[in-house]
Amino acid sequence: MLQLDLHPTGRHFLQIPGPSPVPDRILRAMSLPTIDHRGPEFGALGLKVLAGIRAVFKTQHPVVIYPASGTGAWEAALANTMSPGDHVLMYETGHFAALWAKMAQRLGLSTEVLAWSGTDDVLPNAPGWRRGVQADLIEARLRKDTERKIRAVCVVHNETSTGVTSDIAAVRRAIDAAGHPALLMVDSISGLASADYRHDEWGVDVTVSGSQKGLMLPPGISFNALSPRALEAMKTAKLPRAFWAWDEIVEMNRTGYWPYTPNTNLLYGLSEALDMILGDGLDNVFARHQRWAAGVRAAVNAWGLPIQCADPAVYSPVLTGVVTPVGVDADALRRLIHERFDLSLGTGLGKLKGRMFRIGHLGDSNDLTLLATVAGCEMGLKLAGVKLAGSGVQSAMEHFAGLVAQAPLMKAA
Ligand code: PLP
């Protein structure tokens, strides 16, 4: 018998919280011939993407672009500003915050991890993974640090493992209220270009981000947005660094070039993504993500399942974590949905493995993509025998139909 092992018909639904679907317009831009990275055309491309990405971070200061995944940019942030044994205060809101702390330890830093210590009925093993950063805990800890040993405060803006955001301006206020000189480092790998973010206004010293989320690019480039204080800290920081060193890159970037071979075709893609995002306007981009997130939450509420984020003030516009009933393996459910409906959902990470799944609603999406996603989840939940309180599809339709008149839609490509 003829074995048919073809790619399923129609488009795959890539609804994990990054990598997000790459628009055709960006894919086409990346298919241009690779050019000489020391030639004149490249310099113009370099200058264009460096200026555009500053606008997305909302900064006047340098943004370093690395040919690396987000993990590389995490390392770069620490390696450029810290010295062996320096004490850093990390705040654990989820799996990615925990991984960044682990990396800091591996780099030879002394790490102290703060977390919310209340109790939680829905996820008793991960109460702090349902809430954003509590800035008052940071302020209290910094006030106790009379010897000013803490060199940096590190927080995650949009915890991709949970669907919880954190109020970065509040963290800045907490550091200032304590009169503490620590640097503020923020991971906005999955927040940038989907959720409101203001590097300069919020007084962030290093923001770390990546290409494969709100920027709608494939994985492979990542960023460090800097502040003047971060550049000052670099001058005395002693952790070993070579490839990640900001100084040479920032210097060569002045003319649009890099000290090594940058990934040219991803930069073509970045140039196109910046045209799309800035052409549309960041406020429209943020409003669209809020609208999708509210539609997906309407569906989860109608199913009667808990949204992982327990605090509506910090719901993520990028993804929604859905907690499955005790006894329902969320990964088996995800597998079933993938096999039957060609829909990929995010897995539960770390201590939440099997207890939740994540619906990504970011980047190149629209109301109907999300309705289809909700429909795929709903059918899968029913097939898995989960008793639902009501129809999430119906609620999401009502949400999208009700808001359609006011909402800014993506401009035609
Ligand atoms: N931080 C956050 C918040 C993330 O979502 C991710 C990846 O999803 C990372 C860090 C790690 O980035 P990467 O996988 O690109 O190395």
Residue pLDDT, tens place only, 367-381:
999 999 999 999 999
195 CB near ligand 1 (under 6 Å): no
CB 300 within 8 A of CB 395: no
Res 3: pLDDT: 60
Q: Which among 257, 267, 285, 256 is positioned nearest to 364, based on CA atoms?
A: 285
- Two structure tokens written together for 83: 């010295």
Higher-pLDDT residue of 198, 6:
198
96 CB near ligand 1 (under 6 Å): yes
Model confidence, pTM: 0.96
DSSP calls for 30-48: HTSPP--TTSHHHHHHHHH
Ligand 1 centroid to 74 CA: how many Å? 9
Handedness of CA 168, 173, 174, 176 (dihedral sign): positive
162 CB near ligand 1 (under 6 Å): no
CB 156 within 8 A of CB 97: yes
202 CB near ligand 1 (under 6 Å): no
Ligand 1 centroid to 305 CA: how many Å? 26
What is the tens place of the pLDDT at every residue in 181-205? 999 999 999 999 999 999 999 999 9
Ligand 1 centroid to 212 CA: how many Å? 9
Residues 6+ apart with CB under 8 A from 275: 52
Residue 112's identity, in one-letter code, is E
Ligand 1 centroid to 380 CA: how many Å? 27
- Two structure tokens written together for 173: 């206020």
- Two structure tokens written together for 358: 């994540």
- What counts of helices (H) and strands (E) characterise the chain? 13, 13
Q: Whose CA is nearest to atom 5 of ligand 1?
A: 160
Res 74: pLDDT: 98
**How many Å separate Cα 14 from the centre of its chain?**
16
Q: How far apart are CA 77 and CA 121, in angstroms?
A: 36
Please determine, for residue 361, whether its predicted confidence score (pLDDT) is greater than 70. yes
Res 9: pLDDT: 87
Ligand 1 centroid to 155 CA: how many Å? 13
CB 61 within 8 A of CB 232: no
DSSP calls for 191-248: TTTTS---TTTTT-SEEEEESSSTT---S--EEEEE-HHHHHHHHH--S--STT-HHH
Please determine, for residue 1, whether its predicted confidence score (pLDDT) is greater than 60. no
Q: Which of 96, 206, 209 gets mutated to test ligand 1 (max ligand atoms within 8 A of its CB)?
A: 96
pLDDT tier, 406 (very low <50, low <70, confident <90, very high otherwise):
low
Res 2: pLDDT: 57
What is the DSSP-derived secondary structure letter of residue 307? B
391 CB near ligand 1 (under 6 Å): no
What is the tens place of the pLDDT at every residue in 253-308? 999 999 999 999 999 999 999 999 999 999 999 999 999 999 999 999 999 999 99
What is the tens place of the pLDDT at every residue in 105-163? 999 999 999 999 899 999 999 999 999 999 999 999 999 999 999 999 999 999 999 99
Mean of pLDDT values over 170-186: 98
Ligand 1 centroid to 98 CA: how many Å? 12
| Nearest atom of ligand 1 to the alpha carbon of 222 | 15
Q: Whose CA is nearest to atom 12 of ligand 1?
A: 70
Q: Whose CA is nearest to atom 13 of ligand 1?
A: 70
Average pLDDT of the chain to the nearest whole number: 96
160 CB near ligand 1 (under 6 Å): yes
Mean of pLDDT values over 166-180: 98
- Residues of the chain with pLDDT > 90, as a percent, come to 94
Q: Which of 16, 160, 185 gets mutated to test ligand 1 (max ligand atoms within 8 A of its CB)?
A: 160
pLDDT tier, 32 (very low <50, low <70, confident <90, very high otherwise):
very high
Q: Which among 141, 159, 116 is positioned nearest to 17, based on CA atoms?
A: 159
210 CB near ligand 1 (under 6 Å): yes
Q: Of 87-91, 239-243, 350-354, 403-407, which gets the smallest average pLDDT?
A: 403-407
Q: How far apart are CA 274 and CA 282, in angstroms?
A: 10
Mean of pLDDT values over 60-70: 98
Q: How far apart are CA 51 and CA 220, in angstroms?
A: 19
The beta strands (E) that lie in 93-250 are given as 110-114, 150-156, 158-159, 164-165, 183-187, 206-210, 222-226
N-term to C-term CA, the chain: 44
Mean of pLDDT values over 61-74: 98
19 CB near ligand 1 (under 6 Å): no
Q: Distances in Å between the alpha carbon of 38 and those of 29, 49, 255?
A: 20, 16, 11
